[in-house]
A and B are shown apart, each in its own frame.
Chain A
Amino acid sequence: MSFASSMIVSSPQPAAVATRRLAAVGYQAGRQLAACAILLAAWEIVPRLGLVDPVFLPPFSTVVAAWWDLASSGALAAHGAASLSRAFSGLAIAILIAIPLGLLIGANRRLGEVLDPLIEVFRNTAPLALLPVFTLILGIGEVSKVTMVVYAAAWPILLSTVTGVRTVDPLLIKAARSMGLGPSALFRKVVLPASVPTIFTGIRLAAAISLLVLIAAEMVGARAGLGYMINAAQFNFQIPEMYAGIITLSALGLLLNVALRRIELRLSRWKDA
Chain B
Amino acid sequence: MSEHNHTEKDSGNGGASRRNFIGAVAAAGGLAAIAPGIHLVQVSQANTPPRPAGEAASKAVRWGMLIDTTKCASGCTDCVKACATENGITETVKDARQASQWIRKIDIKEVKTGRTHSLPMLCQHCAHPPCVDVCPTGASMKRADGIVLVDRHICIGCRYCMLACPYKARSFVHQPLTEQNPEVPRGQGCVESCTFCVHRVDKGQIPACVETCTKEGHNAMLFGDLNDPNSEISRRVAQVTTTQVRADLKLDLGVRYQGI
A and B: interacting chains: no
**B interface list, Cβ under 8 A from A:** none
**A interface list, Cβ under 8 A from B:** none
